[in-house]
Amino acid sequence: MNTSPAPSKSDLFKYTLRQADNSMVLCQRLCQWAARGPDLEEDISLTNIGLDLIGQARSLYQYSASLCDQQVNEDDLAFMRDSHEWSNLLLVEQPNGDFADTIARQYLYDAWHLLFLEQLTESNDTTLAAIAAKSIKEVKYHNRHSSMWIKRLGDGTEVSHQRMQDAIAAVWPFTAEMFIPDELDQRMLEFGTGVDLKALKHTWDSQVSSLLVDATLSKPVAGEAIVGGRQGQHAEYLGDLLEEMQSLPRSMPNHQW
């Protein structure tokens, strides 16, 4: 990775916030599964993954807060921003659907997340690199868990096979966004701080293809990419998700909880 000069504080703030938002939104989606899992073991696993994600989000929000010009803390960033200010990938905000939909979203993201974090450990920003190194251990487990379910559901019963196939197809158009850098990604890459998103595509493709073959599933044909999450252009889903998540601190601002 290239070094010097360092990215501007505002770029670093925005870049960190993006990663925090991904973890936070996906965590919130998993929270919606509480006590609704297909069995007790899954209730525990999904919450475990959610807990890892909220831990990552908190580290990243705290770091973002330290880079922000205004006096903010992790909770201000999570609870006081409107949906157009959120810069998560569209993939992670997709609704839970049934268990196959949740697993499809999770696996396609986990596989990308792991590759992303591996690169981020080489960032010249030592805080981002350290958070990435810690998160990798967790995301390896997430990836193992979701891969296992892709195989079980893909190669389970006829019903589960069909549901898994439909679920993969439904979220597929949102995966392209993970590999399309915008200007901020480009600048961060040039400074040696950010990840080369385009370079992740090849490995991700081959890992996903090989798992889908194992799971007796077919890979959807690449259609038109749906993008815009990083620029704050979200579907209505995110507004609903945030409205629920932010309701209490927004109805009683400036309170300690």
Partner 1 sequence: MRANQNSKTLSADELKFEELLASGRKIEPRDWMPDDYRKTLIRQIGQHAHSEIIGMQPEGNWITRAPSLKRKAILMSKVQDEAGHGLYLYSAAETLEADRTDMLEKLNNGKMKYSSIFNYPTPCWADMGAIGWLVDGAAICNQVPLCRTSYGPYARAMVRICKEESFHQRQGYEIMLTLCRGSAEQKQMAQDALNRWWWPSIMMFGPRDDKSPNSELSLKWKIKLFSNDELRQKFVDIAVPQANILGLTVPDNDLSWNEETGHYTYGEPDWEEFFEVIQGNGPCNKERVSNRREAHENGQWVRDAAIAYAEKRAKISRPKTTQDPL
- Interaction mask 107-146, partner 1, x per CB under 8 A: ----------------------------------------
**Nearest to partner 1 of 75, 205 (CB atom):** 75
Q: By CB under 8 A, how many residues form the interface with partner 1?
A: 47
Cα dihedral 91→93→99→103 (10° resolution): 30
Site for partner 1 contains 43 (CB under 8 A): yes
Site for partner 1 contains 221 (CB under 8 A): no
Residues 160-199 within binding reach of partner 1 (CB under 8 A): 160, 163
Distance between CA 110 and CA 31 in Å, rounded? 17
CB 198 within 8 A of CB 179: yes
**Nearest to partner 1 of 57, 89 (CB atom):** 57
Distance between CA 155 and CA 152 in Å, rounded? 5
220-248 as b/e: b if 16+ CB within 10 A: eeeeebbbebbebebbeebeebbeebbee
> Near partner 1 by CB under 8 A, which window of 8-16, 42-50, 116-124, 126-134?
42-50
Q: Is 254 left (phi over 0), alpha (psi -120 to 50) or beta?
A: left
Which positions touch partner 1 (CB under 8 A)? Answer: 28, 31-32, 34-44, 47-48, 50-51, 54-55, 57-58, 61, 74-75, 78-79, 98-99, 151-153, 155-157, 159-160, 163, 244-245, 247-249, 252, 255-257
